[in-house]
Structure 1
Amino acid sequence: MKKRLKLTIRTARALLQAFAFRLTAALGRRGPSRSCQIPELRTILQSCLGNVKRGVFVEVGAYDGEKFSNTSWLADNGWRGIYVEPSPEFAGLCRRRHCLNNVEVVNSAAGESEGEAVLMQMGSLSTMSASTFDAYQHIPWAKNQMDSRLEQKTTRVQTLDSILGAHSCPSGFDVLVVDVEGFEESVFRSFDLKRWRPRLMIVELCDVHEELNVTAELADSARRVRSRILAAGYQEVYRDHINTIFAVPECAGLQPINASRRSAA
């Protein structure tokens, strides 16, 4: 009963956000959400993409479509979006949050191959990575969330290539976000960067994270993803303790952003 009430409250909040943020966008005041982890995101997008009014984004690991989202403000401002979220509960919240926007919500995980997998659902820390799950058990703030919210769910897995193809995503789309709590390498293994060539990518990589990089398997996986992206011709324009932004060299006005926050590659 308590869980059902909580979900009802979150659903109502998502619908209120849908209307409130669209109104804010209509007034020309909708920027990145307060919970967005990259304070400079608006500046970075304008520097790298120019003044794009109706772009296309894909966010893998959408959660509820608002909290910690890098793209909800783009959807509110008229961009077309594809949200990929493995949890049925969170995918439902995402649909309600964006019920007035030009977005599609895919209730599936993105991974290396088609099939099924176990999702360790625990709010915004939900993961399909065993290494991440193990690491969280040794981090106090993460373990508290695990202890109170952990549920195991079986989820469908599709390759990102197949998801984009099924939803008629154009090659060279504007922004790709991949935030899947340590499962990033599985997403990129089957993702054809040469074919899709998103202009800007925001990827959660933990190889410089002060707590998560103590796990060698996680840190090595993140380094391999970073190397794969750089080998595909992308340039790193921003890095903090958990997020890295990569851009194609031909992006408008491409310049390193806030270089003081970037660590050595």
Structure 2
Amino acid sequence: MQPIDFKTKVIDSFKNSPINELGLVREFFGNKKNGFYVDIGANDPAHESQTFHLDNMGWDGLLVEPHPRYQFLLKEKRTGKIIPYACSNPENQNKTLELIDNHLHSTLELDWFESRNKDSKAKTINVICKTLDSILKENEVQPGFEFISIDIEGHEMEMLKGFNISKWRPQLILMEDHVLSHQKHNHMVAGGYKLIMRTGLNSWYVPKSSGFRLTLSAKFSFFRKFWLGIIGRKIKYSI
């Protein structure tokens, strides 16, 4: 049995190396040449990008990035449409908030920044916030689009409050999650999605109706890594 077989939709390897991540994303979509992505927290055009390789295959998409520095770089090197906003909850719609300027790890969450940068002083820039629902509607994105990547350094739950998953139903959601709680996971499950595997810090969610299943070995790994391992992760990030 293959560790991951997207054709038969059988997952035998829950925890996977991030080195293989981009190739697995392409394999998930059968190496198709025309798809649509939404990249939340697009950041650098190529470095650690989840969608640069899809641009190169001929895909189209939205690059949601509030930081002016990265907007400039994205306009130079990417083909997707630049969306110059931060994604947040409905209460923050059209509000100007302070983004902590931390290069590749810029965030709207001060607590998140301070927990990982105990000896650094936060530098901020003002950014405008919109919900993902409003962004998708304004850009006439069709429900059921292929791929969304979410990497916004601790602000994911606030963003998810402004994203009607049941309406938009992307085929694959890749979301960074350090799994210090199960809040994001529980939200995704409540929205009709199933976690099928992890690549590094990223969780792979697909609609429950998609037919993917985990083998007994993968289920055991899921339980051990995702549930039992939470205590160790909390200790690690508190040091």
Report TM bin, short chain.
Answer: 0.7 to 0.9
Compared CA separation, residues 239 and 261, structure 1 to 2 (3 A): farther
What is residue 63 of structure 1 aligned with on the other side?
A: 43
What is residue 245 of structure 1 aligned with on the other side?
A: 204
Out of 54, 75, 83, which is 1:106 matched to?
83
What is residue 192 of structure 2 aligned with on the other side?
A: 233
TM-align CA RMSD: 2.4
Q: Deviations over 1:31-79 (max 9, x none)?
A: xxxxxx8322245335543342201000100112211111110011100
Out of 49, 54, 60, which is 1:80 matched to?
60
Name the CA distance, whole Å, in 2 between partners of 1:84 and 1:205: 19
Unaligned runs of 5+ in 2: 1-16, 228-239
Compared CA separation, residues 123 and 169, structure 1 to 2 (3 A): same
Q: Compute the displacement of 1:250 (Å).
A: 4.6
Three-state SS of the structure 2 residue aligned to 1:96 is helix
Aligned residue pairs, count: 204
Three-state SS of the structure 1 residue aligned to 2:19 is coil
What is residue 264 of structure 1 aligned with on the other side?
A: 226
What is residue 16 of structure 1 aligned with on the other side?
A: none
Three-state SS of the structure 2 residue aligned to 1:83 is strand
Contact 2:166–2:192 under 8 Å retained in 1: no
Out of 29, 44, 59, which is 2:24 matched to?
44
Q: Compute the displacement of 1:240 (Å).
A: 4.6
Unaligned runs of 5+ in 1: 1-36, 208-218
Q: What's the TM-score, normalizing by structure 2?
A: 0.77
Q: Compute the displacement of 1:235 (Å).
A: 1.5
Compared CA separation, residues 47 and 77, structure 1 to 2 (3 A): closer
Q: Compute the displacement of 1:174 (Å).
A: 0.5
Within-5 A mapping of 1:111-130:
111-113=88-90, 114=93, 115-130=95-110
Within-5 A mapping of 1:189-200:
189-200=161-172
Name the CA distance, whole Å, in 2 between partners of 1:256 and 1:170: 29
Three-state SS of the structure 1 residue aligned to 2:18 is coil
Residue 264 of structure 1 aligns to which amino acid in structure 2? F
What is residue 168 of structure 1 aligned with on the other side?
A: 140
Contact 1:48–1:254 under 8 Å retained in 2: no
Name the CA distance, whole Å, in 2 between partners of 1:39 and 1:232: 29
What is residue 72 of structure 2 aligned with on the other side?
A: 92
Three-state SS of the structure 2 residue aligned to 1:62 is coil
Q: What's the TM-score, normalizing by structure 1?
A: 0.70
Structure with greater proportional strand content: 2
Q: Compute the displacement of 1:249 (Å).
A: 3.7
What is residue 180 of structure 1 aligned with on the other side?
A: 152
Name the CA distance, whole Å, in 2 between partners of 1:51 and 1:119: 36
